[in-house]
Structure 1
């Protein structure tokens, strides 16, 4: 599978022009930041590899993307999760549903006071052979391969359009995409934490690059949010973005990302290139939850 340079749209939101890098449109099957993170594996031979092993949430974007990758490469996917809600088991939807369609083996584990990562690394992969192990969210050094291509596309666009005052923004989970983008971009990368706080995000950066001078700039969120929990303001800005831009964004990352960005000085003082990292497949279940709670 090949994908081409994703286009950049110009939108107007909250009376500000913002450029949107449409990585959500890279490919029907393999899009968003996971397409960039996993492009190394997609583009390289899987000789002697029989299985992909990873872990995370049963509604993770990485679960669906890895299920596509395993299907393309004709290998098995074992994806370990700490818990699958009974409702989701009985009513599969979103990333979970599509991953099952692609043949993913989603394994609910008993962690024995271990984190999911500790469980997989201590009890699973030590006994496996002929596999590729990919950490949660694609936090692997191989992710740099595809993210470097993304950075090259953005650098070229900046030069062609003379956007010297531009800042690149994207919300972060593990921060892998933001970190490798900053390494290869000629402009400042801004990001904000969506899974933990800024200290969590800094620790994620340090696992892949100990040089803090080359880390992205972290914009703190206005208040502490718990990942996956419903917040009315997330749903409201999601609807407002859809109304003003006619672009659907992800409810988990992008809603918090936009709220944080528009409250920052950067939104007022700089041109912004926002990277749309996909993930909207998970919106189906999130929207149902929001409607049940608030409508």
Structure 2
């Protein structure tokens, strides 16, 4: 259905620390050139389920710079599904081609429905979904961000046998699907740490719906003000880290995760000689907008 172009691998990060910490990055970002990281994992079984149900259209939701929207559009083109993106903000209807994410999704033949902010808040209501079905016909619904039972199933495959030696598995958190899958794949000696890109720990309840054990924790101190917000310190860190390690990062998810883990290491948060694995969840299409240069 969706072919893996390059298997993920673990890359060691060399850095000096007085605690004997070993740090590796699982390069999920290399799985596929257009549908990388957790988006590939989340969509894989959803597309199989859509195919099983005999659906020919995929409909989902997202904002103007959504990695999820870009991934669904590309996946639909590759797997021969029509795609519909319900986009937050009707003001974008006349200028979406100025947005690199929406422009690429359009080139991948995604149709758009630009919802008002009020409509978007009620996007899962029976009335709004009925309106969308009347307009676009029957479709397979993928939630905003892609998180559902099929997404979690895909993310359970992120960890493999080569990861058994790690003590901590760290990943960025958006809608909670990725870390839920990771939690379900943990060995008894392992703990998952999630770094939310949004303010607060409200995503805890969403994760708890899918998580099959309690060996996890959310670290909520590295959101940098909220979703899609960051500052010069984060930008400087990302540029330096990426240049030194040849690992591209973006400031919405992975940059915050890597910054947070490195900061916690420097503060002695992790026990001595811990082995830590960071999950690189991709999402690099956002760099097309030169976001790091805009502060």
Same-fold call, TM cutoff 0.5: yes
Displacement after TM superposition at 1:267 (Å)? 4.9
Contact 2:230–2:251 at 8 Å: present in 1 too? no
Displacement after TM superposition at 1:215 (Å)? 5.8
Is the aligned partner of 1:92 residue 2:99? yes
The 1:87/1:250 distance shift into structure 2, 3 A limit, reads farther
Pick aligned residue for 1:190 from 182, 190, 193:
193
Structure 1: tracts of 5 or more residues without a match: none
Number of residues of Structure 1 aligned to a counterpart in Structure 2: 278
Is the aligned partner of 1:22 residue 2:30? no
Contact 2:29–2:283 at 8 Å: present in 1 too? yes
Displacement after TM superposition at 1:14 (Å)? 5.8
The equivalences for 1:70-109 within 5 A come to 70-83=76-89, 89=96, 91-93=98-100, 95-109=101-115
The 1:217/1:98 distance shift into structure 2, 3 A limit, reads same
Structure 2: tracts of 5 or more residues without a match: none
Aligned counterpart, 1:7: 9
Note the alpha carbon deviations across 1:172-228, whole angstroms, 9 max, x for none.
011211112111221211111112312x1212213445x6x5362112215761211
Aligned counterpart, 1:274: 278
In 2, the alpha carbon distance for the partners of 1:54 and 1:240 equals 35
Give the SS at the match of 2:255. Answer: helix
Displacement after TM superposition at 1:7 (Å)? 1.2
Question: What is the RMSD of the two structures over their aligned residues, measured on CA atoms?
Answer: 2.5
Displacement after TM superposition at 1:229 (Å)? 2.5
Query: Which consecutive aligned stretches of 4+ in structure 1 deviate over 3 angstroms post-superposition?
Result: 13-17, 84-88, 120-124, 206-209, 265-269
Displacement after TM superposition at 1:87 (Å)? 9.9
Give the SS at the match of 1:142. Answer: helix
Contact 1:13–1:241 at 8 Å: present in 2 too? no
Contact 1:205–1:215 at 8 Å: present in 2 too? no
Give the SS at the match of 2:156. Answer: helix
Note the alpha carbon deviations across 1:236-267, whole angstroms, 9 max, x for none.
11101112211101221112112222222445
Contact 1:8–1:21 at 8 Å: present in 2 too? yes
In 2, the alpha carbon distance for the partners of 1:171 and 1:76 equals 30
The two structures have a TM-score, normalised by structure 1, of 0.84
The 1:188/1:88 distance shift into structure 2, 3 A limit, reads farther
Aligned counterpart, 1:138: 146
Contact 2:96–2:103 at 8 Å: present in 1 too? no
In 2, the alpha carbon distance for the partners of 1:99 and 1:192 equals 28
The 1:144/1:243 distance shift into structure 2, 3 A limit, reads same
Contact 1:6–1:21 at 8 Å: present in 2 too? yes
Note the alpha carbon deviations across 1:7-63, whole angstroms, 9 max, x for none.
111122465642111110012232110101111034453553132111111211111
In 2, the alpha carbon distance for the partners of 1:223 and 1:8 equals 25
